Amino acid sequence: MRRLGRARVRAARRAPVLRAAVPLVGALGVLAITALAVAVPSGRPPGLAPAGTVPVVAAENFWGSIVAQVGGDRVSVTSIITNPNADPHAYEPTPADARAIASARLVVVNGIGYDPWAAKLVAADAGTSTVLDVGSLLGLRAGANPHRWYDPADVRRVVAAVAADLGRLDPAGASYFRRGARRFLTVALAPYDALVREIRARFAGTPVGASESIFSMLAPALGLRVLTPPAFLRAVSEGSEVSAGDRAAIDRQIRLHLIKIYVFNSQNVTPDVQAQLAECRAAGIPTATITETLAPASATYEAWQVRELRGIRAALVRAAA
- Could you give the CA distance from residue 121 to residue 113 in angstroms, rounded to a whole number? 14
- Sketch out the chain's domains with CATH numbers: 9-188 (3.40.50.1980), 192-320 (3.40.50.1980)
**Residue-wise pLDDT tens digits, 217-268:** 999 999 999 999 999 999 999 889 999 999 999 999 999 999 999 999 999 9
Region 202-213 average pLDDT: 97
**Residue-wise pLDDT tens digits, 16-35:** 333 333 333 333 333 333 33
Region 91-113 average pLDDT: 94
- Could you give the CA distance from residue 43 to residue 57 in angstroms, rounded to a whole number? 9
CA geometry: angle at 135 spanning 19 and 58, to 5°? 85
- CA–chain centroid gap for 228, Å, is 20
Is the model's pLDDT at 284 over the cut of 50?
Answer: yes
- Could you give the CA distance from residue 1 to residue 290 in angstroms, rounded to a whole number? 11
Task: Give the global pTM.
Answer: 0.83
Three-state SS string over 209-247 comes to EECCCHHHHHHHHHCCEECCCHHHHHHHHHCCCCCHHHH
